[in-house]
């Protein structure tokens, strides 16, 4: 039997990753801010499985193995200097062997999941979309990292689907929002190595 804790950290992700052993996570699913720089080598170092990163089409952080697309709801904002852009790309770096085929309708690679309005975070992603990515690119015994956690949708998806997660969010307000969404408790997952099925036990995370 092996154990792992889900948790949320209020920190700069790059400081935390510096202390993280090689291949610690089974997958990364994350959504950095549009024009930031990400250290993809560092993400590859700490993750032995698939790495999935949202980005805008003009700023692809790395050359992926697969491109997926999220067609967002249209809005009437921001037409002053440029045409509207309502597509985000989802870069998939296929590492490891995990690839779970779902019904063909879930595998088309172009998704138009809608947010439930009003969103809690300005750049929130639809939970249904994140859940689909979690189901395809991780297994029930996976530990998933989101270093740009925001409101914690990756954590919520992992919790709903029996994966464990580590979320890192540097903004105090969004960190507290994610804590409200996921509870200040963490879940310890016990994995039965014989049958591979998870069992949960709540523990008190205290001040994270
Ligand atoms: C695009 S938002 C993620 C939104 C998230 N997908 C959701 O559904 O709520 C990116 C988040 O990363 C956080 N962030 C930016 N740089 C960071 C860093 N170096 N370490 C940790 N969090 C960071 C921002 O505060 C922001 O909340």
Q: How far is the CA of 21 from the CAs of 30, 37, 84, 123, 193, in angstroms?
A: 19, 22, 42, 30, 22
Q: For residue 31, give both structure tokens.
A: 């959504």
Q: How far is the CA of 115 from the CAs of 64, 74, 166, 179, 185, in angstroms?
A: 26, 12, 23, 20, 26
The protein residue with its alpha carbon nearest to ligand 1, atom 8, reads 124
Residue in 119, 150, 178 to alter for ligand 1 test, most ligand atoms within 8 A of Cβ: 150
The residues of the chain scoring below 50 in pLDDT are: 1-2, 189-193, 195-198, 202-208
Q: What is the pLDDT of residue 3?
A: 58
Q: What is the pLDDT of residue 195?
A: 46
The domain that holds 68 is classified in CATH as 3.40.50.150
The protein residue with its alpha carbon nearest to ligand 1, atom 25, reads 171
* Angstrom distance (rounded) from CA 82 to CA 34: 16
Q: What is the pLDDT of residue 110?
A: 98
Determine the distance separating the centroid of ligand 1 and the alpha carbon of 165, expressed in angstroms: 15
Determine the distance separating the centroid of ligand 1 and the alpha carbon of 103, expressed in angstroms: 31
Query: How many domains are contained in the chain?
Result: 1
Q: What is the pLDDT of residue 175?
A: 97
Q: What is the pLDDT of residue 184?
A: 63
* Angstrom distance (rounded) from CA 87 to CA 69: 7
> How much is the pTM?
0.89
Determine the distance separating the centroid of ligand 1 and the alpha carbon of 15, expressed in angstroms: 14
Residue in 118, 165, 169 to alter for ligand 1 test, most ligand atoms within 8 A of Cβ: 169
- Phi and psi torsions of 128, nearest 5°: -60, -35
**In which domain, by residue range, is 57 found?**
2-204
Q: Which residues line ligand 1 (CB under 6 A)?
A: 12-14, 31-33, 121, 123-125, 147-148, 150-151, 153, 168-171, 174
């Amino acid at each position: 039997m092996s154990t792992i804790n889900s948790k949320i950290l209020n920190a700069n992700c790059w400081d935390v990753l510096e202390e993280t052993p090689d291949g610690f996570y089974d997958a990364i699913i994350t959504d950095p801010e549009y024009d930031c720089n990400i250290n993809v080598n560092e993400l590859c170092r700490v993750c032995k499985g698939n790495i999935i990163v949202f980005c805008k089409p003009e700023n692809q952080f790395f050359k992926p193995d697969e491109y997926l697309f999220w067609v967002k709801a249209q809005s009437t904002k921001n037409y002053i200097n440029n045409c509207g852009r309502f597509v985000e790309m989802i870069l998939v770096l296929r590492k490891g062997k995990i690839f779970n085929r779902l019904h063909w309708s879930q595998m088309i690679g172009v998704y138009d999941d809608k947010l439930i309005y009003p969103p809690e975070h300005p750049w929130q992603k639809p939970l249904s979309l994140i859940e689909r990515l979690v189901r395809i690119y991780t297994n029930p015994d996976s530990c998933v990292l989101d270093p740009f956690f925001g409101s914690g949708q990756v954590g919520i998806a992992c919790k709903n689907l029996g994966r464990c997660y580590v979320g890192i969010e540097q903004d105090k307000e969004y960190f507290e929002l994610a804590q409200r969404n996921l509870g200040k408790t963490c879940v310890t997952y016990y994995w039965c190595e014989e049958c591979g099925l998870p069992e949960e036990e709540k523990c008190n995370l205290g001040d994270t």
